Amino acid sequence: MILQKGDKKLMKSWAFYDWANSVYSLVISTAVFPIYYDSVTKTDSGLVTFLGMQFNNTSLYTYALSISFLIVAFISPILSGIADYVGNKKSYMKFFCYFGALSVMMLFFFKGIETLWVGILFSVFASIGFWGSLVFYNAYLPEIAYSDQQDKVSAQGFIYGYIGSVILLLFNLSMVMKPELYGITDVTLAPRISFLTVGIWWIVFAQVTFKNLPYNIYNKKPKKNYIFKGFQELKKVLYELQDQPILLNFLTSFFLYSVGVQSIILLATIYGKKEIGLSTSSLIITIIVIQLLGIFGAYFFSRLSKKIGNITTLKITIVIWTLASLGAYYLDKDDPNVQLKFFIISGFIGLVLGAIQTLSRSTYSKLLPEETKDHTTYFSFFDVTEKMAIVWGTFIFGIAVAITGSMRLSILLLSLFFIASFIVLSFMKKTKYVK
């Protein structure tokens, strides 16, 4: 049975992919892997050797992230153009899902500096798989939900993601912090097993989404030379964007605040551990609190946007992000209350973390031309914008750490991007669906 647009079961199935893949965001991008990476690559000099060159271990990690996002930014317009033209974005979404999940599982073999190449290579591959699948996942939103449903279903996805990822994280933390309960004696084994569980969870629960998503909603027929047709579709959308100043305005602001948002998400735990000197247990508790507040924040701000509009609500979240990043810059590890202050700042980040992401996705979806059927190609611009923002953010972060030996300057630079995004968004005009 093919479910129709607006069907509650179809929208829940779509949102459930957040439940499946958000364990990657939490366990690999945010919680366990960054802390594990720092602990097994730590040296007296702070330097590690990779490809015959020496790097600060934190800088190397940020550079690897930059490369992964650069690759996604390059391939997603091509793939999404192809998928839109031949109508098989579900197949591409499956490929990147499985590629990412299997790459995460390969991190099991990353045991220390002697296998550093495994950690770097497969963290890059896992990132490509995760973000590549989101190109096609996000592009389904205007095809499975009507405009007045999109804020709610987008928020529903993030809420599912927060709940599912916290469940698996709690199980993984029980292994990492109490390995003796599982008969584990190798200190690296528990986190490496957690990488396996992420891949398995991702693949298994993604089947709920794949079962109900339509394959070819517009019944497009593949033709010869469809790869080149994909480039033509991309060129067409590029041309169309020139006549859509409101959409371009939003994308500009989205790029600027994404530099800050995504970089902080990816590097917050390393900042807390290396710059503030927090213990692993304190960081883990902070991450769980952020996820729980994220559930409330995604729900609260989606409701608020219905009353005061998407743009005003987004501006509120940007202000909170700005204040949080500035607050993090002024944290001092010698301050006896630094841990409490870090918790408070993290709480505010948790409140707006899911909110700014879900509002960004639904706002962009509402701004798309009503007559277009090239949702994947349009959403590739959204994803490319975000990926290039992450490339800039992580690269700037890594360079600042390499030059100064400190992560504080990087946080200050990221706050400037939030301020710039607020200014750009202030000039955005209201539309029929976005106010």
pLDDT at 432: 60
Q: Phi/psi at 56 (nearest 5 deg)? A: -65, 135
pLDDT at 223: 59
Q: Is the model's pLDDT at 235 over the cut of 60? A: yes
Q: Are 367 and 247 in contact, with CB atoms under 8 Å apart?
A: yes
pLDDT at 219: 60
- Chain Cα centroid distance, residue 136: 14
pLDDT at 178: 86
pLDDT at 424: 92
Task: Tell me which of 371 and 351 has the higher pLDDT.
Answer: 351
Q: Are 326 and 385 in contact, with CB atoms under 8 Å apart?
A: no
List domains and CATH numbers for the chain. Answer: 8-216+239-426 (1.20.1250.20)
Q: pLDDT per residue over 327-346, tens digit each?
A: 888 888 888 888 888 888 88
Residue 85 — very low, low, confident or very high, per pLDDT cuts 50/70/90? low
Which residues does residue 48 pair with via DSSP β-bridges, in sequence order?
55
Strand-pair category, 47-50 with 53-56: antiparallel
Q: Amino acid letter at 419?
A: I
Mapped onto helix, strand or coil, the DSSP state of residue 223 is coil
**% the chain with pLDDT above 70:** 91
Of the chain, the end-to-end C-alpha distance in Å amounts to: 37
pLDDT at 119: 92
Between 34-38, 122-126, 144-148, 415-419, the lowest mean confidence (pLDDT) is in: 144-148
CA dihedral 264, 270, 274, 278 (to 10 degrees): 90
pLDDT at 273: 77
Mapped onto helix, strand or coil, the DSSP state of residue 432 is coil
pLDDT at 224: 61
Task: Tell me which of 238 and 128 has the higher pLDDT.
Answer: 128
pLDDT at 84: 64
Q: Are 81 and 233 in contact, with CB atoms under 8 Å apart?
A: yes
Mean pLDDT of all residues in the chain?
Answer: 83
Q: CB count, 10 Å around CB of 163?
A: 16
pLDDT at 83: 67
**% the chain with pLDDT above 90:** 20
Q: Is the model's pLDDT at 88 over the cut of 80? A: no
Q: Is the model's pLDDT at 16 over the cut of 70? A: yes
Q: pLDDT per residue over 236-276, tens digit each?
A: 777 777 888 888 888 889 999 998 887 887 777 778 877 78
pLDDT at 378: 77
The rounded distance, in Å, linking the Cα atoms of 217 and 140 is: 10
The rounded distance, in Å, linking the Cα atoms of 353 and 19 is: 16
Q: CB count, 10 Å around CB of 43?
A: 10
Q: Are 130 and 390 in contact, with CB atoms under 8 Å apart?
A: no
Q: Which residues contact 265 (CB under 8 A, 6 or more apart)?
A: 25, 29, 30, 353
